[in-house]
Amino acid sequence: MLSNKIEIKNLYKIFGPNPSSLIEKVNNGVGKDELLEEYRHVLGLNKINLNIADHSLQVIMGLSGSGKSTLIRHINRLIEPTSGEMIVDGQDVLRLSQKELLEFRKNKTAMVFQKFALLPHKTVLENVSFGLFIKQVDQGEAEKKSMHWIDRVGLLGYEHRYPQQLSGGMQQRVGLARALANDPDILLMDEAFSALDPLIRKDMQDILLELQLELKKTVVFITHDLDEALKLGDSIAILKDGSMDQEGKAVDILLDPKTEYVKKFVEDVNRSRVLKAKNIMQDSSQISKELLAGQTMKVKSEDVIEKFIDKVVIEKPNLLEVTDKNGLSLGYLTSERLSQILRK
């Protein structure tokens, strides 16, 4: 069982001259539109509670104005809350002194922005090593670490180029390499792939998933795209007008939407293209001894249903064994459960 890396407790953000005085009105049912019209304040976040497991990839999604970018900026306190707690590793970030906050940002977190935020007058290598320079890492060691991550994101040979000489996708790879070079516990990604073309976006998603399998960071990823959320997220939190509308695993969001807002999000989703074997597998205690002793077909945990459904139809196994990339068993999936999920 994974412990919580981040605990967000009763977090409010109201923008305006007297935000604290309006928390009670928000608690009594004053919504975003009324707060703006009657009180000239903007409701950013309304009593957000969310636990983010260590080493997990948490997606926070919603439409424009839902509060998702406001929320992620509270984790490293780029935005000060009106009220609430932001607990990271048992410590309330909101109570840190300015000096402690700078150390927290420098060593605990790294951020990847939608607009890349690269320094145009510095090369790829200089951009990637910039955080290490701030941390006063020896230049030789900083360059060695930076070159490692430049290689990992597929930019070897471009280290002496400048941002304007790179495509948008390549620039975002630089941003990701810069964040990883600092070796943060927590990676904050605010609409990081939203400005990219669809094929480049898919490549970046695949790179992130591949790196996450190896590095096991705690990643908080902001998006307005449901397909992206379902592909990336171990858990998904959906915001609406600053409030939490639903939170859970991808399979729960897809198969058991709790509100009309979420139902509209998921109604046209092709489940076979987004649900992975790991999303719907069960452990051995949920499988009968007869099935465990019968015909079994192996599938990889990261494979979406579409990838193996044809083979299931042809071979008709009673049980699918879900394995990691090394072939080690992670769980099981019965053909009956697979059929139920596709029928819903």
The model's pLDDT over 267-315, given as tens digits with 9 standing for 90+, comes to 888 888 888 898 889 888 888 888 888 878 999 998 989 999 999 989 8
* Ordered DSSP codes for 286-300: GS-HHHHTS-EEEEE
CATH topology of domain 277-343: CBS-domain (3.10.580)
Q: Where are the domains of the chain?
A: 53-271, 277-343
Pairing of strands 83-88, 91-92: antiparallel
The model's pLDDT over 182-213, given as tens digits with 9 standing for 90+, comes to 999 999 999 999 888 888 999 999 999 999 98
Ranges of residues in the chain whose predicted pLDDT is under 70? 1-2, 344
Using alpha carbons, list the distances in angstroms from residue 289 to 202, 299, 319.
40, 20, 11
Structure tokens, 286:
């949920």
Query: Which letter, b or e, does each residue of 137-151 get, where b requires 16 or more Cβ atoms within 10 Å of its Cβ?
Result: beeeebbebbbebbe
Q: In the CATH scheme, what is the code of domain 53-271?
A: 3.40.50.300
The pLDDT value recorded for residue 49 is 98
